[in-house]
Every structure is written in C-alpha cells, then in structure tokens.
C-alpha cells in the first residue's frame, strides 16, 4: 500500500538472514542509510530517532554551512562533494537535482528470493524529473537496488549517469577487486582504501579485464575473517564500479551503467531504468559470497535438475567436423558416463575457420549433407543430450549476411567500421530486421533438432558501438536486445538451457544469469590457472553455475602437462565437463576419468547445494576449499598445492563450516581409495580415518600428507553414525 505524501514514514527497516538495511526517510529527502550490516533486531522508534541524531554529521570547516548528508543517490544539492548519483542536462540546464520524496511503499518480497522491498518515488519539479527507487533485501540477506528516471518536460533530457551507493564504515580500510585478461580472468588485486575515488569502468561490454565485484573491509580480511561489504552491477553492457572516500570520513561503494555520450536522450514521459546493483555483507568472503549463492539458488529460474557431465568437442576437433570422428568421441564419452554432448563452432554456413560464416545460421550442406541428424541421432541414441554452439551477436564481413546488409553492423559511421577483432564485427540487434534475422534462424535450428543446450559465445568487444543510421551509441539498447533474444528462445523452447561463454569469462553478471544456467569461466582449463579463476568466480556464482572441464594431458592454452587426477579433481568442484580428444587418451587415462565422473555424479547433489567454504591457511603455497551440506551432516574438502612450500608438511589444516557440536569422521576421498593418496607420506590416521568434533576440526585442524606442486587431496567428512 502506498503511503500518502502528507504522512510519509520517517524510516524503512529491511531485515533478513541476519542483515539490516535501515533507511532514514525523514523530512522528505531521498533515503539515507543509517545502518547496513549485522541485524539490528527489533529496534524501537525511540532508538531509530536517537540513532538519526547520533549519526548526524557536524558542519565541517571550509565547507557548506550545514550538515552534509549522503543519500543512496548522492546529490550536489545536499552538499555532497563527491561523485553525483545523477548527471545529465537539458540543453546545458537542469544539471543538478534536489529530489523530494512523494510516496513510500514498504511491502513483503516476491515469495521466492526477496524477503522485503521498498519502492520510493520522488520528484524534482524545477528540473522536470521524476525518480523511482526500488530497494530490496533478499531472504539470503543480499541487498539490491535500482533507479529509474523519467523526463516530464517537452525538452529532451540527456542522461549521463545514474549511480546508486551504500556507505561503508570507517573500519573498511582495504579494497579487493579483480582484473585479468583472456585466459587469466578474475585475478584479485588489493590496495588501501585511500581518500579519493577508485573507479573501475567497463567500456567494452565484456568483463575479461573488468572487476566482477568490488569489496571493502578491514586490512587483511580473508575468507573467514573481517566484516566485508561488496558490490556487483548486474548488467551485461558497459558498467562502472567505484569506491570513494572523502575527508569528512564518509566512504561508499557505488555503481551503475556506463553510458556513452548522448546514448540516452529522454523525451517527454520517457524513462530510463538502470540495472540492478547487488550489495552483500558478511563476516569473511565466504559469508559475503554465500549471500549471492543463496539468492541465486532461491530464484525460480535456477536449475533444479542434476548438472549433467558434458563433453564439448572444441579442443578435440576444432573446425574439423568429421562425422565419424565426432561419433567416435560420442561413443567414448557415453561409455564413461557423460550425459551431454555439445557440438562447437564450425557447423554452419562457410564456417571452416574463424574468418567467415558468422551470421549465416544455416547448417552447412558442405560439411553436413544430411543435416545434423546423423550426429544428433547417434548422440541421443547413446542416451546423451545434444547441445550446439552459437555466436548470435556477431558477424564476419565474409558472410552472406554482411554482404547483403552492411548497414546492420554496429559502427559509429557507415563509412568507418570498427577495427576487426577475430575477423568479425558486431551485429546491430537494435535494428528490428537484423534482430528478426538472427531470431528466426536460431529458432529454425532449435525447432528442427532436439537441442537442449546452447553454448552462447560472444568473442569480441563492442568498440564504436553505434547505430549507422542515427550515429548514436546503442550499447544499452543492444544489451536489452540480447536479453530479449534469449528470453524469446527460452519461451519458444521450454527446457532449453543457455550457457554464457564470451571468450570464457567475459559475461558472468547477474543480468545474463537471469537467462543462463551456466557460465564458461575461462577458455583456460589448465587446472593450475583454474584455482585462481574459479576462486574469483565463486565470490559471485555457486559451483553448479560454473563450467569447469577436464583438459587434455598437455593444456591447450599454457602447454603444461598435468596428471589426470589434478585435472579431474579441479573440474569436480564445479559443473563438470570434458574438453579433450578422448579418442587419443590411453586406457589408463579413460579408466581414471570414468572413476572421477562416477564420483562427481555420486556427489553433485551435495556439491551443488551446500555452502562453499575456504580456509585462510597461512602457507600461500596451499589452498583449501570445500562444500558443506545445508544440514551440515556431510562435507567435501580439497587441499591443493600450487607450488613448492617452505615447509615439509602442510601443518595443521583447519576444516571450516562444520557444526561445532557434532562429531565428524574424516577420511581421504579419491577414486581408488586411500591407496591413491598423492604421496607415500601418510599421517597416522590416514588409512582408518579419524573422528573429531566440528569445533576441533575448524579451530585446531588435522595434519595432512605432504603434497607435491600441482597435486590435490580430497577429504570426505561425515557425521559419526
């Protein structure tokens, strides 16, 4: 129920899962955050009033003669000296807003992932702008916000940015964000949270080198320690994230969509709605990430069926689509327990290499004279699902589509196309005819063949992303068109699943995850590199949404040689797959791989529903990760040696996340049993296992065998019978 403007509440308190978000809405100003963090419980009106007074900043020297307040949308009119939340103008005027709240609605959530929500509407009559703020708290304690601005005047309003923020406390003295490149995505970087603005921008509509989230906490915070607050922008186009601290001791995390100059021009009564911003709080990175995981798992679109073991044939055959070889691959895969078979790039048009054919989504009669049916029938006859690769947003200049419609290519000017990347350009899906071309060709394929899975790739940046006819940048509209295309395909083909690939981990945001049930975390499946890539990815996504494949013996991207146990045990903790020419594997390798696949299938229910945990082990050459069941009756852990250690043994290793009051039996878990331990150095308890209380395992730990570099040890922990 909407509250009349003459009787607006002076605060809104959202609470769930041990988190409180307390908003001060007094005096008609935009909401200001009195508290975001651990739950305040049943705080009284009296307490809120006194907290409001106690949190009121004094007027500072050499600044405006009033207290400077920060609202969730920062305004210059309130004296805010930092980055404004809304920037834009109307022919040079109306560049600064002073919104006044007109209505506040505080209600229950959606019955799925959202526990509580508030909708706050405001207006700035002199500027001719209306504002709507949606602020929600999920049942996992994850906060999310988005804003919409509407122009109420005849003159157009040119919107430059619409950013929202939540403040962080003085104790937040360190920032963690991520950088990277192709095949080395989500590399962590830490630095002091100093005065000024730390800004991370994505101007390429992909995130290979852009931070998937930004976290702030006390210096040295870790997986299990430090009160942390983090922000993620749930959008697949251009984005900005920033951490800002000012001399009057106010600090914040903020972000929104990054808009090109002139990209959003609002005519009368037109509205721009920004992306959802997700804010997570927790004691340690594990709890912070766990709120994202729980939120994603509670959505109705989250996959509920077991995540099938799949083989993707790219690194097995590349563009060489020989039917007999592909059938032979299917035979071997099925014999090992693989459940889904994905045909990658090269099945359509003139696509014999990466120089031509993109945009012509018609099965190549040259390579497939009888269509895909001979392979599809063979794969399905073996009991496996069939999946297919597409790159719907892209076009090769050497294609029937580009020759027929050069005006359908994203470009700032018709006479100057962007520099090519991977010998391709981007199709302008904001053009209705271009959109219909791709949609209809894709629908024809998924309706003709029993395709249950699409690997949706996206292999180049959006540079000079303009509509040729208007000359305006259209990244926002292009992103909306991509979402709509996915939505149409999913509606037309119930049960269809989409993987977000994008050269590996270029598009893993929560906007695309409203449509996709899997991301390809990286094109690099070297298991050593994957330790860091998947650790960074796990801060946002739970393991069942992250594809991780068993690579060939000699890795495609790094040239390293790894054991089958190291490769398979790395893929084991995510959505397991294979990227390997199995027809070239030895019988011993295939037997071992089959054991790992069986182990994954036995344990995926736990792996894909439990809480992801890590230990802050002091030896940086070792990492420990695990998954603890929701009922805390069972857990799986993996200790990994990244390189040689200065110590002869790992020392006492702690196993976090267990019920401190229960007793647990710990034993090694590897195909082949305890005799398959990675070294001959066994601890006293090794062969028989050991039983200890959860509090002892979490605070004292156990001695584990010495590991050589690039070895991995799995442990199973069960409550004692």
Distance (Å, whole) CA 225 – CA 237: 33
Main-chain phi, psi angles of 501, to 5 degrees: -105, -75
Could you give the C-alpha distances from 594 to 58, 337, 601, in angstroms and in order?
67, 7, 11
Distance (Å, whole) CA 143 – CA 291: 9
Whether the Cβ atoms of residue 166 and residue 230 lie closer than 8 Å to each other:
no
Closest to 678 measured CA to CA, from 717, 660, 704: 704
Assign residue 598 a region (left: φ > 0; alpha: ψ between -120 and 50; beta: otherwise): alpha
The SS3 of residue 606 is: helix
Q: Is 457 labelled a binding residue?
A: yes
Q: Which helix (H) or strand (E) holds 634?
A: strand 634-641
Q: Is 455 labelled a binding residue?
A: yes
Q: Which helix (H) or strand (E) holds 254?
A: strand 251-257
Main-chain phi, psi angles of 66, to 5 degrees: -160, 165
Q: Is 422 labelled a binding residue?
A: yes
Which two three-digit tokens encode residue 49? 């009033």
Assign residue 28 a region (left: φ > 0; alpha: ψ between -120 and 50; beta: otherwise): left
Closest to 231 measured CA to CA, from 223, 242, 239, 220: 242
Q: Is 373 labelled a binding residue?
A: no
Distance (Å, whole) CA 181 – CA 13: 41
Q: Is 459 labelled a binding residue?
A: yes
Whether the Cβ atoms of residue 385 and residue 341 lie closer than 8 Å to each other:
yes
Whether the Cβ atoms of residue 346 and residue 357 lie closer than 8 Å to each other:
no
Tokens 């601890």 identify what position? 683
The SS3 of residue 51 is: helix
Q: Is 501 labelled a binding residue?
A: yes
Which two three-digit tokens encode residue 296? 């994603």
Could you give the C-alpha distances from 27 to 8, 53, 645, in angstroms and in order?
9, 13, 60
The SS3 of residue 334 is: helix
Q: Is 456 labelled a binding residue?
A: yes
Q: Is 345 labelled a binding residue?
A: yes
In angstroms, the first-to-last Cα distance of the chain is: 52
Whether the Cβ atoms of residue 647 and residue 614 lie closer than 8 Å to each other:
no
Whether the Cβ atoms of residue 343 and residue 313 lie closer than 8 Å to each other:
yes
Q: Mind telling me the catalytic residues?
A: 457, 523
Query: Three-state SS across 60-105?
Result: CCCCCCCCCCCECCCCHHHCCCCCCCEEEEECCECCCCCCEEEEEE
Whether the Cβ atoms of residue 582 and residue 332 lie closer than 8 Å to each other:
yes
Q: Is 398 labelled a binding residue?
A: no
Which two three-digit tokens encode residue 631? 């009922």
Q: Residue 274: which residues within 8 A CB-CB, separation 6 or more?
A: 146, 147, 148, 162, 164, 256, 257
Whether the Cβ atoms of residue 484 and residue 434 lie closer than 8 Å to each other:
no
Could you give the C-alpha distances from 404 to 348, 409, 424, in angstroms and in order?
17, 11, 16
Beta bridge partners of 87: 161
Whether the Cβ atoms of residue 150 and residue 129 lie closer than 8 Å to each other:
yes
Half-sphere exposure of 52 (CA within 13 A, CB side): 18
DSSP letter (8 states) at residue 618:
S
| Residue positions forming the annotated binding site for substrate | 182, 344-345, 422, 455-459, 501, 523
Residue positions forming the annotated binding site = 182, 344-345, 422, 455-459, 501, 523
């Amino acid at each position: 129920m909407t509250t009349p403007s003459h009787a607006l509440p002076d605060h809104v308190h959202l609470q769930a899962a041990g988190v409180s978000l307390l908003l001060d809405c007094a005096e008609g100003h935009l909401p200001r955050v009195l508290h975001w963090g651990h739950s305040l419980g049943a705080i009284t009106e009296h307490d809120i009033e006194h907290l409001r007074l106690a949190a009121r900043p004094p007027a500072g020297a050499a600044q405006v003669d009033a207290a400077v307040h920060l609202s969730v949308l920062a305004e210059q009119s309130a004296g805010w000296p930092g980055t404004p939340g809304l920037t834009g103008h109307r022919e040079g005027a109306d560049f600064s807003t002073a919104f006044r709240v007109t209505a506040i609605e505080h209600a229950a959530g959606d019955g799925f992932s959202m526990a509580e929500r508030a909708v706050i509407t405001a207006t700035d009559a002199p500027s001719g702008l209306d504002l709507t703020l949606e602020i929600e708290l999920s049942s996992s304690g994850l906060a999310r916000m988005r804003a919409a601005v509407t122009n109420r005047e005849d003159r157009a309003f040119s919107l430059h940015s619409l950013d929202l923020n939540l403040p962080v406390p003085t104790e937040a003295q360190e920032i963690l964000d991520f950088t990277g490149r192709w095949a080395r995505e989500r590399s962590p970087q830490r630095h002091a949270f100093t005065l000024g603005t730390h800004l991370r921008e994505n101007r390429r509509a992909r995130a290979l080198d852009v931070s998937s989230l930004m976290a702030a906490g006390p210096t040295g915070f870790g997986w299990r320690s430090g009160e942390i607050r983090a922000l993620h922008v749930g959008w697949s186009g251009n984005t900005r994230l920033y951490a800002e601290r000012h001399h009057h001791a106010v600090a914040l995390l903020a972000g929104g969509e990054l808009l090109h100059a002139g990209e959003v021009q609002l005519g009368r009564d037109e509205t721009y709605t920004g992306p959802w911003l997700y804010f997570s709080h927790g004691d340690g990175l594990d709890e912070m990430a766990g709120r994202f995981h729980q939120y994603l798992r509670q959505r109705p679109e989250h996959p509920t069926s077991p995540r099938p073991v799949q083989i993707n044939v790219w690194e097995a055959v590349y563009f060489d689509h020989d039917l007999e070889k592909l059938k032979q691959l299917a035979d071997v895969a099925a014999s090992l327990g693989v459940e889904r078979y994905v045909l990658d790039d090269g099945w359509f048009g003139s696509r014999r290499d990466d120089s031509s054919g993109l945009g012509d989504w018609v099965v190549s009669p040259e390579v497939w004279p009888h269509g895909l049916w001979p392979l599809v029938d063979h794969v399905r006859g073996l009991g496996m699902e069939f999946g297919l690769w597409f790159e719907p947003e892209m076009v090769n200049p050497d294609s029937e589509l580009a020759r027929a419609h050069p005006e359908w290519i994203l470009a700032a000017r018709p006479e100057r196309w962007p520099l090519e990347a991977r010998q391709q350009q981007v199709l302008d899906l904001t053009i209705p005819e271009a959109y219909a071309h791709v949609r209809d060709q894709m629908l024809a394929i998924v309706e003709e063949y029993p395709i249950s899975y699409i690997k949706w790739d996206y292999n180049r940046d959006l540079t000079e992303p303009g509509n040729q006819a208007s000359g305006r940048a259209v990244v926002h509209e292009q992103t909306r068109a991509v979402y709509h295309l996915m939505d149409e395909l999913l509606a037309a083909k119930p049960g269809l699943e989409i993987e977000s690939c994008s050269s590996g981990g270029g598009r893993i945001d929560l906007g695309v995850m409203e449509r996709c049930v899997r991301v390809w975390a990286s094109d690099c499946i070297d298991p050593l590199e994957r330790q860091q890539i998947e650790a960074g990815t796990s801060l946002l996504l739970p393991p069942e949404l992250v594809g991780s494949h068993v690579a060939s013996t000699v890795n495609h991207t790094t040239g390293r040689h790894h054991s089958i146990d190291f490769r398979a045990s790395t893929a084991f903790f995510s959505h397991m797959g294979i990227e390997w020419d199995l027809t070239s594997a030895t019988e011993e390798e295939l037997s071992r791989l089959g054991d790992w696949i069986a182990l994954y299938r036995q344990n995926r229910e736990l792996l894909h529903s439990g809480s992801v945990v890590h230990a802050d082990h002091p030896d940086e050459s070792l990492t420990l990760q695990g998954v603890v069941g929701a009922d805390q009756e069972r857990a799986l852990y993996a200790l990994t040696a990244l390189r040689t250690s200065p110590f002869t043994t790992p020392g006492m290793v702690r196993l976090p996340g267990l019920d401190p009051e229960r007793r647990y039996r710990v034993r090694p878990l590897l195909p082949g049993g305890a005799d398959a331990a990675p070294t001959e150095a066994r601890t006293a308890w090794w062969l028989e296992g050991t039983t200890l209380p959860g509090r002892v395992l979490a605070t004292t730990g156990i001695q584990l065998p010495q590991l050589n570099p690039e070895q991995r040890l799995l442990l199973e922990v069960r409550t004692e019978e």
